[in-house]
Amino acid sequence: MHISELDVTNLERGRKDACWLDVSPRVEGGHWQLPLLTVTGSQPGPTLVVFAGIHGDEYEGVEAIPRIAEQVDPAHLHGTLLMVPVCNMAAYATATRNSPIDGLNLARVFPGSETGTLTQCIAHWLTLKFISAADFFIDLHSAGVVGDIPTLAGYLHSDEDVGQRSLAAARIFGAPVLWGHPPPVPPGRTISTAIDLGVPCLYTEAAGAGRAHPEDVDCFTRGVLNVMHHLDMLTGDPAAVPPPQHLVGDGNMDEVMSAPFAGYFRPHVELLQEVKTGQLVGTVHDPLGSVLAELHAERDGIVIMRRGVHRVHSGDGLIHLTNRADE
């Protein structure tokens, strides 16, 4: 079926289904497709949309989504669960962050364009058919191959209703770190599009580095089920979760402390470490061992991301600092 024919508001109740949706023709024949897992409750209720594989080198959500589908019984579900385990199949096939077809980052082109390149077209259909149909939206990411980020739930840090509902669900999700982003969320993301549509949402990060740590897959699986309890899609209480470390700051990883020169990067700080202005946080070396650059913290903060791959090119993001939330 072509995705244009999908009507998620009119699915048969009380079922669990899996299918492939055609999105755009492939040059060698056939179509680029999106895999879709649906669970429709025997009772009406909210629609929860969950994405993974927006970046092709992040695996935790890809593994968690089928597990979540397995654990939800349509007979006990109120509402509809719509999950796309691999949103960017072309990037998944090459295990890269961006699409090998048009070079684009799917997380920078939302809400997309029906007549655009493959990545823009995927964003268009994901927005039209899923995000705009959601009562709540979850996007499962991790640091991918080059970064290192603590396991966290990110949300819109705002007093507006959409922000407060995002925060409440992000707390219940149960990740060890909660990271709020004051508006505006930079454009092009799934969550910026969800917020523009008034859909409360959260996203995740985790260590990544090309593999899915079992504890992160467990965290994401339990997290989505917890949000389903929170939304009254499932009866009973969410699993009890320890209070998270609560951080707030700009989540824009496109603008972080970056390498002034190409070379070998050695971080001098750990994730979640508190650093002071002027503190040495990393060095860039040449192959003979000479220090080409020292990176010093430009302000006080907490390390929320550090680069995992040592080889760096000029301009590559190395370290990102954030702040503790006032609570």
Residues binding Zn ion (CB under 5 A): 55, 58, 141
Strand boundaries in 165-316, DSSP class E: 177-181, 201-205, 245-248, 257-258, 263-267, 274-275, 280-285, 291-296, 301-307, 311-312
For residue 86, the minimal CB distance to Zn ion (Å) is 12
By beta carbon distance, the residue nearest Zn ion is 141
For residue 191, the minimal CB distance to Zn ion (Å) is 11
For residue 15, the minimal CB distance to Zn ion (Å) is 30
| Choice between 141 and 171, CB closer to Zn ion | 141
C-alpha 26/C-alpha 150 separation (Å) is 37
For residue 306, the minimal CB distance to Zn ion (Å) is 16
| Choice between 168 and 271, CB closer to Zn ion | 271
| Choice between 24 and 190, CB closer to Zn ion | 190
| Choice between 147 and 238, CB closer to Zn ion | 147
**3-class state of residue 300 by DSSP:** coil
Residue 276, judged by CB atoms within 10 A of its CB (0-12, 13-18, 19+), counts as exposed
| Choice between 92 and 233, CB closer to Zn ion | 92
What's the Cα-to-Cα distance from 126 to each of 80, 107, 122, rounded to whole Å? 16, 12, 6
274 C-beta neighbours (distance < 10 Å), count: 12
CB 91 within 8 A of CB 97: yes
For residue 278, the minimal CB distance to Zn ion (Å) is 31
